[in-house]
Structure 1
Amino acid sequence: MVFNSSPTSSKTVASSVATLLRNGRIFDGTEFVEGKAVLVEDGKISAIIDDGASTQDCQIEDLGGKLLVPGFVDVQVNGGGGMMFNDEQSVDALETIANGHRKFGTTTLLPTFITDSFSQMQAASTAMRHAIGQGLPGVRGVHFEGPYFSMERRGVHAEQFVRSVDEGAFDLFTQTGMGVVLVTLAPEVVPVDFVTRLSSAGIRVCAGHTNATYDQATAGFAAGISGVTHLYNAMPPIMNREPGIIGAAYDNKDIYCGLIVDGHHLHHATARTVIACKGTSRIMLVTDAMATVGSNKSSFNLYGTEIFAKNGRLATKEGKLAGSDLNMMDAVRLTRDELGVDFGEALRMASLYPATYLGLNDQIGKIAAGYDADFALIDEATDQVVRTWIKGVGGNS
């Protein structure tokens, strides 16, 4: 993918010349709109106007009748473009990951650093501060997934790094300059007051890789846990007399849930059940993507183990799932086609709802005056993203 930007895209700034995006169909985050155009100035949407209205001193971009939607928001991205965040903690690595996902419509993501040593977590936080400081396009925060997990539910997270809360963890998670910070942990293995302190400091806390009972999960929610990472995966199944964390998430209307809809992590019928129980406004489509997304790689190395991509499934040679090979445009398509969700609602599950969870829904997730000019342009005949814009700067696939 080639972006219309300077050689160092982290220093790209939107043009001061107004741009009019016209001759397209628009999904504004609420409804599909015909006969309108979007005026962009200084990286923001300045107005939605009639497509035929006269304009002066304005650069015209013809959308060719395609569908303009709010850019997708992915809160769980371990890698992309051939790169894993755990392999290299640098701005260059984060740029590679972001560009790997941008071609599929993701204009905001949280690079996700999975279970590792505390020193590597510190390196990740340093890279993130540099990325945020340089305004790296698409990167608005960081997701620390682990290492404070249930050993029984760690999945492919390295056993040697799963541990109790480190001294200094609170200071690491709450240091300034990292944008939005999300932390996934197992509520039964961390002190309740640690959750409360994080939540009170503005950190988004999710439960995941957990063996929590219903009561432990409920206590965690009361302490400040506001979401569940990849619901159903790496947690006990819901049972008639022990609903566990899944039942607790269904029981609490305010809890957000990430959902991997690739058909490998969840049977589509299970995902439809989630929607029937939970509704859609608290569901965030996530990719849990690894290095293969946005690259020509068919395998990569994780903790010294080779992970293989086959038919859209990522797994070790023994068959254990290891993240996903899913991109966000495919997640939207599968949500519509396999889960039976209205297309507009599927788009919201990939944009407005995760933006709301991150507290960014006054900036992204809608095409409306005052919002950042973050868009994806979809060819509806092929369900492919053909162009994106981040703060008004466009790129082609």
Structure 2
Amino acid sequence: MSVHSEFQIEDERGDDKLILYNAHILAHSVEVERGYIEIKGGKISRIVKGFPNIVAGTDLDCEGAYIFPGFIDTHIHGGNGVDTMDADEKAFKLLCDYEYSHGVTTFFPTTVTASFKKTLNVVNMLKVLNGKDGFENIGGIHLEGPFLDIKRIGAQNPSFLRSLDEDELRKWFSLGIVRVITYAPVSDPRGSLPHLCREYGVKPSIGHSEATFEEFERCYALGVRHLTHFCNAMSGLHHRHVGLVGAGFLHNDVYLEVIADRCHLNDQMLRLIAKIKEPSRVILITDAIRASGMKDGEYELGGLKVSVLKGEARLKDGTLAGSTLTMEEGVKNYQIVTKLPLRTCLDAATYNPAEFYGIKNAGDIREGMEADLVVCDTQTFNVLKTIKEGKVVFDG
């Protein structure tokens, strides 16, 4: 990583230039305790130690705050009162803005188990919005279901569960915006799904499944390298049947989605993951629902009633129903509980998902990359500013 000295830089002010200065810059490839980032044409042009020689009125004094890469949330159902399944442009705009307010510069709106037609409506809508002004942080779709296991249904609607349908998959995948699908092996006895995923460039992930370790091994042989919301809605660890949790621990190259809200996974399990798992294979997610950012009360998820009390979302029978977590809270929680270096925890919300999903120009801070950045308070981790492609999209 090239980091310039403050004495090497001469300022060449242009209309498309922005400087974020007086910051602690931290990412996978760089740490500068006192420095600035110069942005030109939406890209990072220079990372410099010290202070800039010239500060324009449009430049931003970070007042000693952190600058991180923009967060990447690859599993989020909703927030700010809206849900992916609303399949409405105004709703998605609210969700995009909400994500920006929490430092998320790339996210995968996530479906729930629903009818083919309703899911297709969502995929079609997001295909239309992809790349449109105001929706730049939509990075693809995560299909969670409908090919799941009734034994580990969680907060999915059982009315729409079904076995794998290749025609449905092809119609969804052919639109070119699906990035990942969560499925249960029991729904796919022929092992067709990983092959279809490879054909369309979609990542297969196992979740909502009672699969045994041996069943996972067959999927692993077909290329599956990802587990959805690790430990939750999957076969657990037993000393004679290690299940999917054991598989996630034993395979160093399998990526684990981790919800660090200290509810889906308690502190001991978060520490165990940090102790056992290769850090580069942990991906922090929120699994947030429409109640995120809202008051406690009654909400809906895939046609199911959800009650939120003290920030915890549950069905009537007590089953957890997604979360109200935000990404900056997840990073903070993971660091506080595990005592891992902050950079390691940050990678789990930035660099690791970018690497697994092949998200170009995201997840790190390097010269030449798109300027997707978040400015966070060093004590509270509260998001102060979010920058997407060099433009300030949130200013707290």
TM-score (ref. length: structure 2): 0.91
SS in 2 for 1:23: strand
Query: Quick one: percent identity of the two aligned structures?
Result: 27
Residue equivalent to 1:3: none
Would you say how many aligned residue pairs link Structure 1 and Structure 2? 380
Q: Distance in 2 between matches of 1:382 and 1:50?
A: 24
Deviation of residue 201 (structure 1)? 2.5
Residue equivalent to 1:130: 128
Residue equivalent to 1:318: 317
Deviation of residue 188 (structure 1)? 2.7
Q: Is the CA contact 2:185–2:209 (under 8 Å) kept in the aligned structure 1?
A: yes
Q: Residues 244-263 of structure 1 correspond to what in structure 2 (within 5 A)?
A: 244-263=243-262
Residue equivalent to 1:119: 117
Q: Distance in 2 between matches of 1:82 and 1:90?
A: 13
Aligned partner (choices 94, 99, 102) of residue 96 of structure 1: 94
Q: Is the CA contact 1:125–1:172 (under 8 Å) kept in the aligned structure 2?
A: no
Q: Is the CA contact 2:157–2:303 (under 8 Å) kept in the aligned structure 1?
A: no
Deviation of residue 173 (structure 1)? 3.5
Residue equivalent to 1:286: 285
Q: Residues 148-163 of structure 1 correspond to what in structure 2 (within 5 A)?
A: 148-163=147-162
Deviation of residue 16 (structure 1)? 5.7
Residue equivalent to 1:233: 232
Deviation of residue 57 (structure 1)? 8.1
Deviation of residue 122 (structure 1)? 0.7
SS in 1 for 2:97: helix
Deviations 1:149-207 (A, max 9, x none): 011111111111010122422312322442x5110001232131322221242101100
> Is 1:198 paired with 2:197?
yes
SS in 2 for 1:242: coil
Bigger drift between 56-65 and 369-378 goes to 56-65
Unaligned runs of 5+ in 2: 1-13
Q: Distance in 1 between matches of 2:232 and 2:49?
A: 46
Q: Is the CA contact 1:16–1:42 (under 8 Å) kept in the aligned structure 2?
A: no
Residue equivalent to 2:174: 175
Deviation of residue 32 (structure 1)? 2.8
Q: Is the CA contact 2:112–2:156 (under 8 Å) kept in the aligned structure 1?
A: yes
Q: Distance in 2 between matches of 1:56 and 1:23?
A: 11
Q: Is the CA contact 1:27–1:33 (under 8 Å) kept in the aligned structure 2?
A: yes
Q: Is the CA contact 2:78–2:292 (under 8 Å) kept in the aligned structure 1?
A: yes
TM-score (ref. length: structure 1): 0.91
C-alpha change, 1:304 and 1:374, in structure 2 (3 Å) is: same
- AA partner of residue 119 (structure 1): K
- AA partner of residue 363 (structure 2): G
Residue equivalent to 2:264: 265
Q: Distance in 2 between matches of 1:209 and 1:74?
A: 19
C-alpha change, 1:140 and 1:123, in structure 2 (3 Å) is: same
RMSD (CA atoms): 1.9
Residue equivalent to 2:8: none
C-alpha change, 1:195 and 1:67, in structure 2 (3 Å) is: same
Q: Distance in 2 between matches of 1:181 and 1:273?
A: 29
Residue equivalent to 1:80: 79
Q: Is the CA contact 2:259–2:285 (under 8 Å) kept in the aligned structure 1?
A: yes
Deviations 1:252-295 (A, max 9, x none): 21111101111211111012112222121100011000011133
Deviation of residue 383 (structure 1)? 2.3
Deviation of residue 112 (structure 1)? 0.2
Residue equivalent to 1:213: 212
Q: Distance in 2 between matches of 1:52 and 1:188?
A: 58
> Is 1:66 paired with 2:72?
no
Q: Distance in 1 between matches of 2:303 and 2:185?
A: 28
Deviations 1:43-91 (A, max 9, x none): 21122134434359894221121111111111100001110111x1133
Q: Distance in 2 between matches of 1:189 and 1:105?
A: 36
Deviation of residue 238 (structure 1)? 1.1
Q: Is the CA contact 1:287–1:324 (under 8 Å) kept in the aligned structure 2?
A: yes
Deviation of residue 103 (structure 1)? 1.5
SS in 1 for 2:317: coil
Q: Is the CA contact 1:231–1:246 (under 8 Å) kept in the aligned structure 2?
A: yes
> Is 1:359 paired with 2:368?
no
Q: Is the CA contact 2:80–2:94 (under 8 Å) kept in the aligned structure 1?
A: yes
Deviation of residue 298 (structure 1)? 3.4
Q: Distance in 1 between matches of 2:93 and 2:167?
A: 28
Unaligned runs of 5+ in 1: 1-14
Q: Distance in 1 between matches of 2:56 and 2:386?
A: 23
Q: Is the CA contact 2:210–2:235 (under 8 Å) kept in the aligned structure 1?
A: yes
Bigger drift between 129-138 and 63-72 goes to 129-138
Residue equivalent to 2:300: 301
Q: Distance in 1 between matches of 2:269 and 2:27?
A: 30
Aligned partner (choices 339, 362, 366) of residue 368 of structure 1: 366
Q: Is the CA contact 1:238–1:247 (under 8 Å) kept in the aligned structure 2?
A: yes
Deviation of residue 123 (structure 1)? 0.3
Q: Distance in 2 between matches of 1:364 and 1:285?
A: 15
Q: Distance in 2 between matches of 1:157 and 1:16?
A: 50
